[in-house]
Amino acid sequence: MTSFSSDSLATTDQYAWLEGIHDAAALDWVRTQTQRTEAELHDEDYAQSVVAIRKVLDSTDRIAMVTKRGDFYYNFWRDAEHRLGIWRRTTWDSYCSESPVWELLLDMDQYATTQGAQWHFAGSSFLRPTPGEPHRKALIRLSPDGGDQVRIREFDLENLRFVEDGFDLAVAKTSASWIDEDTLLVTSATDETNTTRSTYASTARELTRGASLADADVVFEVDQEHVAAFCYYDSTPGFERIVTTDAIDFYNSHTGIIVDGTHHKIDVPTDVQVSLHRQWVLFAPQTDWTHQGQLIPAGSLALSHLADFLDDGRIAQVVFVPDAKTSLQGLDFTANYLLVSVLHDVAAQILVFDLRNNFAQSTLPVEDPMLSVSVSAVDDEDTATADDYWMTITGFTTPTTLLRGSVGEPATVLKRSPERFDASGFAVTQHFARSKDGTRVPYFQIADAQLELDGENSVLMDGYGGFQHSMTPGYSPAMGVGWLSKRSANGRRPVYVMTNIRGGGEYGPGWHRAALREKRHRAYEDFAAIAEDLVTRGVTKRERLAATGRSNGGLLMGNMITGYPQLFGAISCGVPLLDMRRYTQLAAGHSWIAEYGDPDVPEDWEFVRTFSPLHRLTDQPHPIGDYPASLIWTTTTDDRVGPSQARKMAAKMMDLGISNVRYHEPENGGHAGSTDNDSTARMLATSYEFLWRQVR
């Protein structure tokens, strides 16, 4: 099979100069367009929206979610007083009180002042202490700009400071876990020799204190054409091992363990997802899997004792098999139970399996199908909390509630988040649209209970449709104050619609695979079908219909702009993939070939081009006046998708004479689009205000 070079193609691309992320000419264009957008949008209404969103993000009475480590409960917190945030901990009794007393561990604003740089807290990893002793060391992940690259530093939990001359890993796409107090297991994409084409680490190294990472022994390595080497050290007493994953692509991988220097491969098809917990190994096949004569359907969950499976391949139990309306979403272990989260028509269910009683099944009660419910173990290694779990309940108009329970006993409400916007009179309903091929596609509608079906309601649709990611109900104060709290010119409250299109995981692997590669257009047909259904039902009309999406959802928005412009009045397209000819050559794009196809393979490019918005602009042109008002936005420091695709799309639209396109690119924020509450508020307010002014 012949192929051709994307790099050579770039030389004939008239917008290739915008790929130079920090090139002077590209940044001049970015600043000019960003200033133009801000001059139009950033007025008093925008400022009020920023203040309203910032207020709910900074609220001090929101729930401080915690993670238990030893006797303490840890939390990272941002508010108006702590822009970059504080890392802190408290005791259980204190946490249960209305006003917990927190011990400050790390003040990121103060750290930024001493360092002369705006470092952002990106997580922590604790060294397992000697039994009976407190935790004394942690690794802190620090992002310089909100992107995926981090610096990792050793932190002393007794003296509450970074360890002088301690572990300090330079900024890169890095992960690290403790093997012992003087040894780390590190994967880090620091140079070409240990970086995959997808920009992730290709090696795992055992780094000893005082040694350089470059000289550390390689304990695991993958082909640089693969996505990444993912490794961590499992320090669970009695189950110490290195867990390895060779991520071949986004949906195919090999998993294994290294014990006493010997690598044991877990021999299953590459599209069977594998996870490990103590003595258990779990399998989630993405396509039907026949194992030792037993059919394990796609989307199922099976488990076995690891020793048994490595010995003779025995499967102990298939604990979950989906039907046409259910899908596996997640799992966690307490000491004696397996907790499994399931969706049924996008409504939450929690299944409980007794590991001591032949996997006997029960359920945790769920009060309302329009709410999302998630569960996780509190600390399965502490005998006092062995079978305790956290339960989080949230909904579009229902503030988040945190409960704690023990399997077999009722859960107790610990914390309730206050209402952040006036949701009185809103109704949450679920609807189904019929897509082009006849598939029923669900969506949630949040609207006035007395909604008039005359087409005169301002509607914001939200979508993603990729990577088996499920869109589920959740309380979003920022959306509440930034969108649902507005009033249109006719005095009505706007409508918010969350879509569950194919490509996501709402109905399991089949729902996802239905929109993979050459079938990608099904996701776009689903979204368009929901837009048409909203019009048919009389909820809205084209002039009052807005849509938003980010990342893969940005690609969705790009295809709405270029494929279905007649359906929308306005679109916000954030941190997007848009140039599908070049996406594998930019940032981490090579890792997504399994999702979209490889444009360097001519047969793949034939179908990839049909959903490449940058190319659809001229391959499938529409009358200039048909295009919706479009805000295309990103950040300069997005090191996952990269800013160039957004730049090129906006520039091409402008050159084609599409006058209602605007571009916005602040410097920091990474792929998330923000680094703190202020930048989050500004990012959201810019998007909401742009859309609102077009469809109100």
First to last CA, the chain: 53
What gap in Å lies between CA 297 and CA 282, rounded to an integer?
14
What gap in Å lies between CA 557 and CA 156, rounded to an integer?
46
Contact partners, residue 504, CB within 8 Å, separation at least 6: 464, 465, 466, 468, 469, 470, 471, 511, 512
What gap in Å lies between CA 328 and CA 343, rounded to an integer?
7
- Going 447 to 448 to 450 to 452, the CA torsion angle's sign is negative
Nearest 5°: CA angle at 643, between 639 and 560? 120
Is the CB of residue 273 less than 8 Å from the CB of residue 284?
Answer: yes
- Tokens of residue 680, six digits: 């989050």
Which residue in the list 671, 674, 679, 687 is annotated as catalytic? 671
Contact partners, residue 406, CB within 8 Å, separation at least 6: 387, 388, 389
What gap in Å lies between CA 478 and CA 663, rounded to an integer?
22
Neighbours of 585 (CB within 10 A): 20
Burial of 646 (0-12, 13-18, 19+ CB in 10 A): buried
Is the CB of residue 415 less than 8 Å from the CB of residue 393?
Answer: no
- Tokens of residue 41, six digits: 């949008």
What gap in Å lies between CA 319 and CA 362, rounded to an integer?
12
Whole-number CA gyration radius for the chain: 25
What gap in Å lies between CA 50 and CA 681, rounded to an integer?
5
Instruction: Considering only the C-alpha atoms of the chain, give the largest distance between any 2 of them, rounded to a whole number of Å.
Output: 72
Report how far Cα 482 is from the mean position of its chain's Cα atoms: 21
Bridging pattern class, strands 86-90 and 103-107: antiparallel
What gap in Å lies between CA 416 and CA 175, rounded to an integer?
34
What gap in Å lies between CA 150 and CA 148, rounded to an integer?
6
Bridging pattern class, strands 360-364 and 372-377: unpaired
Q: Which helix (H) or strand (E) holds 586?
A: none
Contact partners, residue 312, CB within 8 Å, separation at least 6: none
Is the CB of residue 56 less than 8 Å from the CB of residue 477?
Answer: yes
Spatial CA neighbour of 205 closest among 221, 224, 181:
221
3-state helix, strand, coil in the chain (%, to 5): 25, 35, 40
- Tokens of residue 560, six digits: 């709405």
Is residue 679 annotated as part of the catalytic site, yes or no? no
Which residue in the list 253, 551, 591, 630 is annotated as catalytic? 551
> Measuring CA to CA, how many Å separate 691 from each of 45, 563, 570, 632?
13, 19, 6, 12
Place of tokens 């979508």: 463
Spatial CA neighbour of 456 closest among 535, 531, 529, 533:
535
At 127, is the secondary structure helix, strand, or coil?
coil
Nearest 5°: CA angle at 423, between 417 and 426? 135
Is residue 42 annotated as part of the catalytic site, yes or no? no
Just list the catalytic residues: 551, 671
